[in-house]
């Protein structure tokens, strides 16, 4: 069964540093997403991406965040200047099409620790 | 944003049927009811989705009454590997594709 993959599985960085989290969505999917989950809290939507542009973003997704699809397979989340409160599990997801009736497939996540 | 309410936690013995009920009083008339599952340290995983009446797949059944103000996820004969958090997803609003997770129901299956 095809799956979403994410690298690295764990990233430790110092406050103020830039990090790039990488994802490879399922190959025939057209919509891509990033979510995050702070330890012990609920999963929160960050951004969705379609046709090489952001289609929706949450209040969390401020100017320090950006997303990119640099080639035909990767989808990245960049955090420009990390803060302690950015420490969380970051999940990438993809779906065949947009709309709630389309299942979103999640990757295993990247645990980001900001020290 | 339509909010969902579900129990915070449930315990069950192995082999029993587990029913988790979610209330979604303000669900939009054209919205689907969707449930996801999350194991510790993993990403959420789709379980089942329905619009009305009953839907069944190889993992679970979903019962939706006619008024659609609630839904019940039914897991037949649970095993230890069904220990997870189960989310009934809220409606994020028209035109939004984001999944809106609440706190979910933490199911603990006991041997």
* Closest by Cβ to A48, choosing from B87, B97, B101: B97
CA distance B91 to chain A (A): 9
* CB A2 within 8 Å of CB A107: no
Q: Which of B75, B79, B30 is nearest to B48 (CA)?
A: B75
- Per-residue pLDDT reduced to its tens digit, A66-77: 999 988 899 999
- Chain A residues in contact with B42 by the CB 8 A cut-off are 106, 108-109
- Per-residue pLDDT reduced to its tens digit, A75-104: 999 999 999 999 999 999 999 998 878 899
Q: Which tokens belong to A47?
A: 């951004």
C-alpha angle B13-B15-B38 in degrees, rounded to nearest 5: 70
CA distance B78 to chain A (A): 23
Pairwise pLDDT comparison (B12 vs B2), residue with the higher score = B12
- Chain A residues in contact with B46 by the CB 8 A cut-off are 103-105
- Per-residue pLDDT reduced to its tens digit, B47-83: 999 998 899 999 999 999 999 999 999 999 999 999 9
């Amino acid at each position: 069964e095809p799956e979403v993959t994410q690298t690295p599985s764990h990233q430790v960085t110092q406050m103020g540093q830039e990090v790039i989290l990488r994802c490879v969505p399922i190959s025939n999917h057209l919509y891509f997403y990033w979510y995050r989950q702070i330890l012990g809290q609920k999963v929160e939507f960050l951004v969705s991406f379609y046709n090489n542009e952001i289609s929706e973003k949450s209040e969390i997704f401020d100017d320090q965040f950006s997303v990119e699809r640099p080639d035909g397979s990767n989808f990245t989340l960049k955090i420009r200047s990390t803060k302690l409160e950015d420490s969380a599990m970051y999940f990438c997801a993809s779906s065949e099409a947009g709309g709630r009736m389309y299942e979103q497939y999640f990757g295993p996540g990247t645990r980001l620790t900001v020290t | 944003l339509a909010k969902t309410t579900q129990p915070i936690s449930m315990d069950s013995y192995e082999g029993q049927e587990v029913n988790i009920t979610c209330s979604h009083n303000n669900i939009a008339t054209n919205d689907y009811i969707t449930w996801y599952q999350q194991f510790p340290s993993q990403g959420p995983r789709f379980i089942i989705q329905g619009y009305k009446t009953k839907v069944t797949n190889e993992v679970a059944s979903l019962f939706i009454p006619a008024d659609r103000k609630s839904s019940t996820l039914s897991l037949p004969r649970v095993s230890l590997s069904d220990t997870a958090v189960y989310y009934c997803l809220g409606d994020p609003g028209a035109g939004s594709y984001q999944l809106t997770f609440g706190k979910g129901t933490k199911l603990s299956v006991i041997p």
